[in-house]
Amino acid sequence: MINNKKVFVGALGLILAAGINTAKAADDSAKAAVVENPAILFKIHDIKPVTNSDGQTTSCDFAVTFFNRSNENINGASIDLTWDDDTVKILLDEEKNNDRRASSSRNASSTVTANIEVPAVQAMKQAVVRTRLQSDRCFLLMDDVKLRVRSCNIASQSRSGSRSATVCANLFKFVSPNNQEYYREFKPVTLEEEAAIKLQEKENIKKDINEEYSKTVAEFERASQLLKEIK
């Protein structure tokens, strides 16, 4: 009975150790994923139309959350966000083709643009910028946006403090409401990477438990055989 208890305790310890090692491996995989897929994620949210005394929308308040999913510290950036208004574009194209100009679209533009000053964001940290856009088309802010980086300063690449647009032009990644990540707190790994890590973790734990179970059964069988030989 004592020998059986020792075998059981030993097997339990091995299983726990396997779980710890698997969790560490998953953490290492997450870090590796960050290095392989660096990005400055950003999403637009909390859009609120601002109306005048006549009830007409004159501007849009909104927030932009930036998450620095990279190993680089960003010391600030300036970006232009542009939304296309397809309805106005079609109307303007039709009037241009018909060689006429309607009063309803005389001053209209097929795009809406906002300039955002991105604050310093350390690696694996996030920041929120709240701003106001002068437009009555707040609904456009929920659509996909075009990005142009005016300037950007990555700490490790700019000792002089210059803000070159080419430094992190490809780092900014827009997360639209069609993306599942939009509805959760940004994390160091994507949803797909997180799911893959968790699945691999479960498979590793299952494999380790099966192996330790087989070893435990073998130990019990060996102990039983010894008891028979003693008798």
**pTM summary value:** 0.63
154 vs 177: CA distance, rounded Å: 28
SS3 135: coil
Most confident region among 17-21, 108-112, 117-121, 187-191 by mean pLDDT: 117-121
What's the confidence (pLDDT) of residue 54? 92
Mean pLDDT of 89-105: 65
14: Cα separation from own chain's centroid: 36
